[in-house]
């Protein structure tokens, strides 16, 4: 089974690009973030034309929004409000073999990495704390976590570790928070299982860099994790970075994993 995660940055705007990605990668499941569409306006017919009969989505106007598109049946799991906000940042489903799939869009955190001066950054840190506590309470089992986690944890997940230490997405306090989420449920970084941590790897490039890839100043903000029970079933993983260079792209590239379920 191939699972793709992609911050699409507006589903209705980039539905044709999604079709091109599906044609290229032939995924069984696609998890989207930043769909930016209400449930009433979700383009279900267009998505089904791509071969996904089973759809789950939570959306709001203009912001956030998550969706799971699948060729296999899904059972939606009860959602929850994170940080007491109904802002459509998490969607979960059970796959036919019983594996839980969690699709997250972690808050970006604004521009100032100080929770006292920046409410958005405080929200991001609180969101990570809640994820840590929530997954820490769960029993071991078969789970997959995907999404735009908006943090590049490794030095090789950014174009310059030294220059980005004070930039939101790579600050020590964010990395520490993400590491706590990983440790709480013993998550395994599926992508880094196949692409060594010593190798630079990015999934996001700012729109401010008008010529892509230009200087290749990227960050790895999009992740796929699995629990230890699934680690031996991983077969491959990669980033489809060429999609970032297509016409009217998202600033994120799709990330995918092959897993034997």
pLDDT computed for residue 212 by the predictor: 87
Gap between the Cα atoms of 238 and 95, Å rounded: 22
pLDDT at 141 (0 to 100)? 95
DSSP-assigned beta bridge partners for residue 2: 258
Percentage of the residues of the chain whose pLDDT score is greater than 70? 100
Distance of alpha carbon 130 from alpha carbon 123, whole angstroms = 10
- Locate 150 and state its tokens: 């908006």
Residues 6+ positions from 9 with CB-CB distance below 8 Å: 34, 36, 250, 251, 252
Phi, psi (degrees; rounded to nearest 5) at 187: -65, 145
pLDDT value at residue 126: 98
**What mean pLDDT is predicted for residues 112-118?**
97
Asked whether 113 and 166 are in contact (CB, 8 A), the reply is yes
Read out DSSP for 125-143? HHHHHHHHHHHHTSPS--E
- Average model confidence (pLDDT) for the chain? 97
Whether 28 and 54 have beta carbons less than 8 Å apart is answered as: no
Domains of the chain: 2-259 (3.60.10.10)
The predicted model gives 223-231 an average pLDDT of: 98
pLDDT (average), residues 218-237 = 98
pLDDT, tens digit (0-9, with 9 covering 90-100), for 134-160 = 999 999 999 999 999 999 999 999 999
Residue 129: closest CA among 67, 75, 82, 186:
82
Q: Confidence class of residue 242 from pLDDT cuts 50, 70 and 90?
A: very high
β-strands 29-33, 75-76 pairing: unpaired
pTM of the prediction? 0.97
**Is 193's pLDDT higher than 80?**
yes
Confidence bin at 122 (pLDDT 50/70/90): very high
Confidence at residue 80, expressed as pLDDT on a 0 to 100 scale: 83
Give the span between the Cα atoms of 250 and 243, in whole angstroms. Answer: 8
pLDDT category of residue 210 using cuts at 50, 70 and 90: confident
Q: Which helix (H) or strand (E) holds 87?
A: none
Neighbour tally for 26: CB within 10 Å:
11
pLDDT digits (tens, 9 = 90+) for 17-71: 999 999 999 999 999 999 999 999 999 999 999 999 999 999 999 999 999 999 9
């Amino acid at each position: 089974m191939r699972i793709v995660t992609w911050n699409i940055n507006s589903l209705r705007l980039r539905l044709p690009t999604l079709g091109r990605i599906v044609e290229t990668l032939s995924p069984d499941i696609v998890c989207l973030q930043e769909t930016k569409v209400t449930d009433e306006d979700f383009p279900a017919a267009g998505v089904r034309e791509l071969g996904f009969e089973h759809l789950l989505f939570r959306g709001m106007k203009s912001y956030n929004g998550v969706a799971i598109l699948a060729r296999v049946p899904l059972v939606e799991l009860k959602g929850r409000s994170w940080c007491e906000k109904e802002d459509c940042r998490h969607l979960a489903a059970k796959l036919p073999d019983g594996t839980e799939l969690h699709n997250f869009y972690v808050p970006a955190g604004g521009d100032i990495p100080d929770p006292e001066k920046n409410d958005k950054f405080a929200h991001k840190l609180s969101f990570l704390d809640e994820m840590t506590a929530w997954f820490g309470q769960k029993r071991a089992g078969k789970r997959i976590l995907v999404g735009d986690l908006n943090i590049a944890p490794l030095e090789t997940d950014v174009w310059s570790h030294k220059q980005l230490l004070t930039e939101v997405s790579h600050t020590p306090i964010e990395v520490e928070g993400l590491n706590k989420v990983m440790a709480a449920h013993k998550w395994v970084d599926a992508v880094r299982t196949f692409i060594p941590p010593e190798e630079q790897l990015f999934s996001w490039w700012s729109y401010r860099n008008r010529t892509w890839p230009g200087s290749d100043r990227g960050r790895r903000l999009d992740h796929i994790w699995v629990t230890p029970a699934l680690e031996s079933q991983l077969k491959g993983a990669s980033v489809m970075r060429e999609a970032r260079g297509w016409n009217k792209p998202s600033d994120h590239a799709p990330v995918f994993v092959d897993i034997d379920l």
